[in-house]
Amino acid sequence: QEYTVCADSCLRTCADAAAQGSGTCKPCCVEGCACPPGQVLDEHNTCVPVGMCPCYHKGLKFEPGYKEVRPGRRERELCTCAGARWQCIPATDSDIQNYPPAEDLRSTCSATEHME
């Protein structure tokens, strides 16, 4: 980290990057130590590029570049983890074949069904 007189109060960690744009934080200048521009603190309190931040979906953590097919508003979507945010586009037939549906990945193991 480095000292700055005007750090972004809303973009300090990977979790902040994931919430960015949700309207929950009003940005203001904060004096103190912060990561260099374009970097945020990861879960180990190390400055990393925002693009290295994981994404979260339904309580699960996914690394940058991870792709999965999800139900969309009108059709299935291919969602890619990029910089702590999910970027979703309409899925092609090829996407649906190449990337497992998100629901399938979460239903393969259940404590009540005694699966391993």
The pLDDT of residue 51 is 92
The pTM score is 0.71
User: Residue 45's closest CA among 16, 4, 12, 5?
Assistant: 12
The pLDDT of residue 99 is 86
The pLDDT of residue 89 is 94
**Distances in Å between the alpha carbon of 27 and those of 5, 11, 30, 33, 67?**
14, 8, 9, 16, 31
Percent of the chain with pLDDT over 70: 84
pLDDT along the chain (116 residues), means of 10: 86 84 76 90 92 87 92 90 92 89 59 56
The pLDDT of residue 26 is 81
